[in-house]
């Protein structure tokens, strides 16, 4: 099973440059992405950043433009760079690297991609995770999703894109909370917060009007701190939040899928954890992930995990996937904390927890009734069809 080094080469030695953190800023139409983007661009922490937007005309940054640098890249008065997506995000990201490597840009500390309000964030994440060169030069830091406190509840009810934006987020930022005044508005906002807690219990929720959405709270929240390069797996997974949620479960709990109201649109989205004390073989992990993503990839909104490997108990493997696309597994030099269990966080759409858990147990060697073992799954097409066919 292929793996990547957990940390860059020591200072002074030749080797690949540390990857540039990449943040995706999303949110439905009218959620306030422009306002937040203008606010964080003024922070000194963003002075060496680049912002990628879809069209300059769609976002109010004109007062910050000072110089056209070519290749669709514009220098802002804050010291940041800004550029348009000219038909291909890959080209835009490569242009930023070209400016950096040829010295036209002195430093590039991070990239923020602002999506359109109707965008599903997954294709943007796939762009970096699938491209062999961009994958080496960029590293996903976080997905930030803005949610309108006034219209957010109805937006979640009526638009699948909004539900996906919320489900994959690492940070959920409430906007326009100052407009929540009447009893009805307060009731709707309380329902919105509960709905988001059900959709994505692991995401930190921030109030933009209370100045909680600062660069310190929004940036450097991925697996690695760009300064220390030390993995903070516990904060990145935040598995406890999924287990504490009334709709989040660990593998020790019973499956309550039948209690869900499937008439509520976002109730098809589930957040849960799988955890086990048993070491997992590399082949079992690879087969489990390959079968899951090949058969049900579109239903895997996001997957994160740290896995105790049977062939190297002291060096765990970190996995991260968005739908059918998984980043190459990263082998850590050592366990980051005292908890040495395998812990995997799933956010799925129309893919029940019980189904994923049974597949995981089958591949990792648990003896469960009416569950095929790994050899049967890999050798018997009929057994495999039980995991790849329609899910009820």
Using the 3D structure, point to which of 184, 218, 252 is the last residue of a domain.
218
Is 121 inside any structural domain?
A: yes
Is 226 inside any structural domain?
A: no
Q: Are 297 and 199 within one domain?
A: no
pLDDT tens, position by position, for the chain (392 residues)?
Answer: 544 544 444 444 455 678 899 999 999 988 988 788 888 888 888 888 888 876 544 444 444 443 444 555 555 555 555 665 555 788 888 888 988 999 888 888 889 888 877 788 888 888 888 899 999 999 999 999 999 999 999 999 999 999 999 999 999 999 999 999 999 999 999 999 999 999 999 999 999 999 999 999 998 888 866 565 667 788 888 878 877 665 544 444 333 343 444 334 456 899 999 999 999 999 999 999 999 999 999 999 999 999 999 999 999 999 999 999 998 888 999 998 889 999 999 999 999 999 999 999 988 875 444 545 555 454 554 444 455 554 44
In DSSP notation, 365-390 reads T---TT---HHHHHH-HHHHHHHHS-
Q: Are 248 and 179 within one domain?
A: no
**Coil, helix or strand for 333?**
coil
Identify the pLDDT of residue 33: 87
Q: Are 334 and 211 within one domain?
A: no
Q: Are 282 and 316 within one domain?
A: yes
Is 37 inside any structural domain?
A: yes
Helix axes 353-364, 282-296, angle to 10 degrees: 150
Contacts (Cβ under 8 Å, ≥6 apart) of 170:
142, 143, 144, 203, 204, 221, 222
Give me the domain span that covers residue 124.
Answer: 4-218
Identify the pLDDT of residue 383: 46
Contacts (Cβ under 8 Å, ≥6 apart) of 332:
6, 231, 233, 306, 315, 316, 317, 318
Q: Are 202 and 293 within one domain?
A: no
Identify the pLDDT of residue 292: 93
C-alpha pair distances (Å), 261 with each of 199, 247, 256, 268, 272? 14, 12, 11, 9, 17
Q: Please check whether residue 273 is in contact with residue 251, taking contact to mean a CB–CB distance below 8 angstroms.
A: yes
Q: For residue 322, give the nearest of 142, 111, 89 by alpha carbon.
A: 142
User: What's the N-to-C CA distance of the chain in angstroms?
Assistant: 32
Handedness of CA 218, 113, 63, 150 (dihedral sign): negative
**Coil, helix or strand for 210?**
helix
**Coil, helix or strand for 49?**
strand
Q: Are 66 and 168 within one domain?
A: yes
Q: Are 33 and 166 within one domain?
A: yes
Alpha-carbon distance of 71 to 363, in angstroms, equals 49
Task: Report the CATH number that the domain containing residue 40 is assigned in CATH.
Answer: 3.40.50.300
As given in the structure block, the two tokens for residue 72 are 């669709």
Is 309 inside any structural domain?
A: yes
Q: Are 245 and 167 within one domain?
A: no
Is 356 inside any structural domain?
A: yes
Q: Are 12 and 69 within one domain?
A: yes
Identify the pLDDT of residue 44: 85
Q: Are 63 and 93 within one domain?
A: yes
Q: Are 164 and 304 within one domain?
A: no
Using the 3D structure, point to which of 186, 218, 250 is the last residue of a domain.
218
Task: Report the CATH number that the domain containing residue 332 is assigned in CATH.
Answer: 3.30.1220.10
Alpha-carbon distance of 123 to 322, in angstroms, equals 9
Q: Are 170 and 270 within one domain?
A: no
As given in the structure block, the two tokens for residue 59 are 């976002």
């Amino acid at each position: 099973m292929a793996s990547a080094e957990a940390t860059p080469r020591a200072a002074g030695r030749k080797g690949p440059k540390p990857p540039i953190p990449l943040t995706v800023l999303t949110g439905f139409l009218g959620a306030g992405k422009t306002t937040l983007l203008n606010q964080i661009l003024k922070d000194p922490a963003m002075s060496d950043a680049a912002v990628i937007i879809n069209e300059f005309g769609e976002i109010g940054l004109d007062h910050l433009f000072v110089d056209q640098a070519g290749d669709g890249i514009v220098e802002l008065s804050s010291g940041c760079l800004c550029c348009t997506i000219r038909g291909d995000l890959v080209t835009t990201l490569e242009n930023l690297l070209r400016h950096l490597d040829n010295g036209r840009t002195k430093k590039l500390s991070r990239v923020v991609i602002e999506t359109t309000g109707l965008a599903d964030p997954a294709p943007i994440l796939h762009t970096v995770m699938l491209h062999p060169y961009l994958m080496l030069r960029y590293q996903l830091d976080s997905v930030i999703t803005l949610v309108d406190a006034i219209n957010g509840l109805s937006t979640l009810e009526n638009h699948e894109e909004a539900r996906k934006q919320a489900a994959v987020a690492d940070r959920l930022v409430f906007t326009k909370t100052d407009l929540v005044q009447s009893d009805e508005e307060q009731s709707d906002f309380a329902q919105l917060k509960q709905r988001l807690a059900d959709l994505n219990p692991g995401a930190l929720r921030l109030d933009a009007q209370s100045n909680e959405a600062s660069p310190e709270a929004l940036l450097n929240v991925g697996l690695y701190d760009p300064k220390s390069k030390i993995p903070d797996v516990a904060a990145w997974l935040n598995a406890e939040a999924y287990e504490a949620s009334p709709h989040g479960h660990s593998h020790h709990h019973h499956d309550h899928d039948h209690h869900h109201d499937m008439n509520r649109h976002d109730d098809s989205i589930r957040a849960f954890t799988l955890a086990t004390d048993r070491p997992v073989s590399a082949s079992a992990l690879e087969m489990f992930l390959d079968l899951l993503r090949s058969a049900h990839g579109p239903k895997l909104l996001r997957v994160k995990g740290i896995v105790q490997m049977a062939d190297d108990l002291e060096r765990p493997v970190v996995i991260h996937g968005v739908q059918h696309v998984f980043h190459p597994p990263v082998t850590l030099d050592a366990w980051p904390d005292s908890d040495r269990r395998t812990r995997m966080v799933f956010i799925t759409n129309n893919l029940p927890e019980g189904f994923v858990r049974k597949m995981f147990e089958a591949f990792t060697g648990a003896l469960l009734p009416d569950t095929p073992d790994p050899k049967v799954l890999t050798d018997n097409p009929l057994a495999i069809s039980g995991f790849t066919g329609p899910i009820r």
